[in-house]
Structure 1
């Protein structure tokens, strides 16, 4: 009886809170392309400044759909605005004029992104390597009743510029490219003339191609761009936006290594799961473990090198859920790798090799919740078909468990992949030569693009309240089931 009464109440509210009943203005959606009229698109066209180094000129072209009733942007730090069409400055932000469907803002902005591991991008006399977040606008908007508009960003090069623009990184200057087609998708290696590439180009593409063929979880991009960073920039690698298709790897990084940075950064392009801060280690730990496994299965390292990597004792007592307690940033790379290796071995043992850690990542990617330790342990148990909750929790928060390396080397590791965020985290891989990190080398997480803050007017109704209550009830039910 209660269920019938509740259903009747919901039906009544659906009628009473509809846009027509409330008198809220609503614009019919017009779809065009992938996102149609519902997306706000901005293209950053990059031009080098011939008379000065250290900065670039950017023209941001903003296309606002009709149902977005208010849109304002803020430029990156130390920006100089040169021209504004269809926008006006209010002393704090640039606001798109009410009548403007297309607006343009031209500005110069510094280039030279540095992380704790060193400088990743630069603008020099002869070349420019940049990440999209260095030139991106930070936006806020309002819209009428309807789905939340997406904020879609892209990079382009100004006419006359020689280079390559990806989705989250771009290079301008003398260069060569080499492209490999894998299962109908492309991997493009962008090699600046200013770089001295240590491994053979074919070896780099072979290594990434193998990783692509084996990986099944996460996003499989139709075009992955690997920007080779000139040797003078920081060693190691850098992924400007997790889950996106661009990576930057220093030209000096080798391929035949259990910490193969080329593969490590590729793994990050497939990571689309989101974690709570206590589980951030999973991104690096899973990427590093599968890097070792894939390089081993491809013949890049021998069995002893693989075993040494996945059984490392470094940071073995670190509580991975408490990064503030670590004695150095390597915990997520070293203990994280060992924990994932131990879990992978347990899964293979429990399922006679039919399921691996790849299945865990696949499930975490497909579910819509941020990954907590409880959800992680629950997912591992579900994949294993056995209760591994205690094992997983102790492995993550206590001393690192032993790793059955025989299980890992006996089974076909070629079946072992990984799924290694807009506002996705940025990821770094330390150089092979700097694997012995110090306490002062803690990596930082930065935002790939300014996550737009949306102002939502004209659509918070009683129905919206009911929807929120429904979500909370479902989440509470899920938590009880886990307990």
Structure 2
């Protein structure tokens, strides 16, 4: 889900000069990303934007050479024109300002991109163009991008007579530079010629991923931790009132307590010919303008925006859509958009009984349906084995802290559940993920969902190490702490309290103690 910077290589030339090679890849996005206007309108106001929209230029990070001088960034400016006389395409001009230590640069155009003219670079082959420091210091590439695009479920990028919706039409760049180790940062700016809305860039992305070109309307709502921008093309008929949609989003921001909250989220509501349903990428999402208030599509795509767990193995690919599906049903019930019977109905209807999740592609029906049912079964087991102390949200909160270098496998998923909740689900996961066995749910679920998730905290035990271990406000000595560890091994609780702790809670307390108490 995230763009990654390709590792930097270096080549030693002679005894004093090094050349680094870097790369950044960014094609047309088919799903989304995040954020926008710096001036926030009240929720009851509608604002129209008819002027050029530009993403604020981020501040580049500075690297130091042996001389400790900062490395200037590679400046890349994109200017996008709808070209209304050529429906179905947009025109992009990319202007690159190379820093002094850049020695070569290569442009790779995608299949949807056709170069129209260029300055300061040379054509190599097919859609590859190159520059080196013996050429002009001004590098400009103008290219045409085909916008209209369909996927399995229908159109997801399009240009109409009055508006266009697409991903950022970037080019792929590779470059070489002198003075290793500093790798020149890339500093981007995107400008729309005319009216339009850009989802600005989160920290881990080079540019926005969604653009709405043409006149639009927008509403804004805020919670203490998130700001939502709801955007739609002007003169669009919306099945769900923006105030209702923003109310759902602000409630979800609190109810879905799994950390990984982005400060700003952009939500597009798009009319025909954009397909039904929706899509999400990082901190931006879109839904069809025909989505009714009773639908859980908005819930589903918002859950995707809060998934920060790392890349999965093939056997866990189902978790991405399965968890979005489960929590969209669950949260719609918890927030009063449907009753308990409908919640159960959505979980059990149409579930394929012969699917093996471990060999299921991420976007198949089995991932959505059986994946959601398996997670419901695990959630119920966790709630009841811990007397409501833990839920599956506690597990997802922990998964969202796993670093990208740690692949999410079946065994890591099992271990995370046990470490967080103290409940072993290994047999259930193996049975329902790696075989055709499909879980069932009781007819009545009221007594199985024993606790709301809205009051969870990042660290479930609201205490400090001295209080937890000694029952008093004093520093705990190392021997006393080791004794407490032995006590926990036997009773799964701590001296001075009646509180049962999972391994995850206890290790959290250990880390707190290490930071607060001298050994």
- Distance in structure 2 (CA, Å) of the matches to 1:39 and 1:310: 50
Give 1:118 shift.
0.4
1:255 aligns with 2:293: yes
Q: 2:92 aligns with which of 30, 38, 58?
A: 58
Mark the CA change 1:382 to 1:254 in structure 2 (over 3 Å): closer, same or farther.
Answer: same
Instruction: State the match for 1:16 in structure 2.
Output: none
Deviation at 1:407, TM superposition (A): 5.0
Matched with 1:278 is 315
Residue pairs, 1:389-428, within 5 angstroms: 389-398=426-435, 399-403=437-441, 405-406=445-446, 409-414=449-454
The 1-side partners of 2:99 and 2:382 are apart by 48
Of 349, 353, 358, the residue aligned with 2:393 is 358
Aligned match of 1:208: 249
In the alignment, the residues of structure 2 paired with residue 280 and residue 400 of structure 1 have an alpha-carbon distance, to the nearest angstrom, of 18
Contact 1:312/1:338 (<8 A) preserved: no
Q: Which one of 364, 374, 385 corresponds to residue 329 of structure 1? A: 364
Structure 1 residue matching 2:383: 3-state secondary structure: helix
Give SS of 2:18's match. Answer: coil
200-209 or 217-226, larger mean C-alpha shift: 217-226
Match for residue 162 of structure 1 among 195, 207, 215? 195
Structure 2 length normalisation: TM-score? 0.67
Q: Give the SS at the match of 1:410.
A: coil
Give 3-state SS (helix, strand or coil) of 1:288's partner.
helix
2:215 corresponds, among 174, 178, 203, to 174
Question: What is the distance in 2 between the residues matched to 1:221 and 1:170?
Answer: 19
Which deviations, in whole Å up to 9, do the C-alpha atoms of 1:299-326 show, x marking residues without a partner? 11111111112234511331111126x9
Give 1:360 deviation, angstroms: 2.2
Does the Cα contact within 8 Å between 2:383 and 2:450 map onto a contact in 1? no
User: Distance between the aligned counterparts of 1:352 and 1:285, measured in 2?
Assistant: 25
Cα distance in 2 between the residues matched to 1:138 and 1:301: 45
Check whether the contact 1:293–1:416 (CA below 8 A) recurs between aligned residues: no
- Contact 2:260 / 2:400 at 8 angstroms: preserved in 1? no
Task: Kindly indicate which of the two structures has a greater share of residues assigned to helix.
Answer: 1
CA contact (8 A) 1:54 1:123 kept: yes
Calculate the TM-score normalised by the size of structure 1: 0.72
Deviations 1:43-92 (A, max 9, x none): 43321113110000112234555665443121121433233234322124
Aligned twin of 2:80: 46
1:130 correspondence with 2:166: yes
Q: For the Cα contact (< 8 Å) 1:356–1:416, is it kept in 2? A: no
Q: Which residue of 2 aligns with 1:8?
A: none
SS of residue in 1 equivalent to 2:125:
coil
Distance (whole Å) between structure 2 residues aligned to residue 262 and residue 208 of structure 1 = 8
1:232 aligns with one of 273, 280, 283: 273
- Give the secondary-structure state (helix, strand or coil) at the position aligned to 1:176: strand
Does structure 1 conserve the Cα–Cα contact (< 8 Å) formed by 2:78 and 2:189?
yes
Q: Deviations over 1:413-456 (max 9, x none)?
A: 435899xxxxxxxxxxxxxxxxxxxxxxxxxxxxxxxxxxxxxx
Please identify the structure whose Cα radius of gyration is greater: 2
Query: Is contact 2:357-2:432 (8 Å) kept?
Result: no
Q: How many residues align?
A: 386
- Distance 1:348-1:162 versus aligned 2 partners, 3 A rule: same
Q: Structure 1 regions of 5+ residues with no counterpart?
A: 1-18, 419-483
Aligned residues of 1:130 and 1:171 also touching (Cα < 8 A): yes
Return the alpha-carbon distance in structure 2 between the equivalents of residues 275 and 150 of structure 1: 29
CA contact (8 A) 1:163 1:173 kept: yes
Q: Is the 8 A contact 2:115 2:144 kept in 1?
A: yes
Distance 1:184 1:332, change over 3 A: closer
Q: Deviations over 1:217-272 (max 9, x none)?
A: 35322221111111332101022xx32x2212110112323xx1112112222222
More relative contact order in 1 or in 2 (CA 8 Å, sep 6+)? 1
Q: What's the RMSD between the two structures over aligned residues? A: 3.2
Equivalent in 366, 376, 379 of residue 341 of structure 1: 376
What is the DSSP-based 3-state SS (H/G/I as helix, E as strand, rest coil) of the residue aligned with 1:90?
strand
Structure 2 Cα separation of the partners of residues 175 and 338 of structure 1:
39
Contact 2:277 2:297 in 1 (8 A): yes
Alpha-carbon spacing, 1:361–1:142, altered in 2? closer, same or farther (3 Å): farther
Matches within 5 A, 1:427-438: none
Structure 2: unaligned runs, 5 residues or longer? 1-11, 21-57, 63-70, 200-207, 459-519
Matched, 1:33 2:59: yes
Q: Where does residue 73 of structure 1 map in the other structure? A: 107
Say if 1:297 and 1:91 are closer, same or farther in 2 by CA, change over 3 A. Answer: same
Which residue among 373, 377, 395 is the counterpart of 2:410?
373
Q: What is the alpha-carbon distance in structure 2 between the residues aligned to residue 22 and residue 112 of structure 1?
A: 52
Per mean C-alpha deviation after superposition, the further-off stretch among 140-149 and 312-321 is 140-149
Q: Is the 8 A contact 1:381 1:387 kept in 2?
A: yes
- Distance in structure 2 (CA, Å) of the matches to 1:136 and 1:389: 44
**In structure 2, C-alpha distance between the alignment counterparts of 1:137 and 1:219, rounded to whole Å:** 29
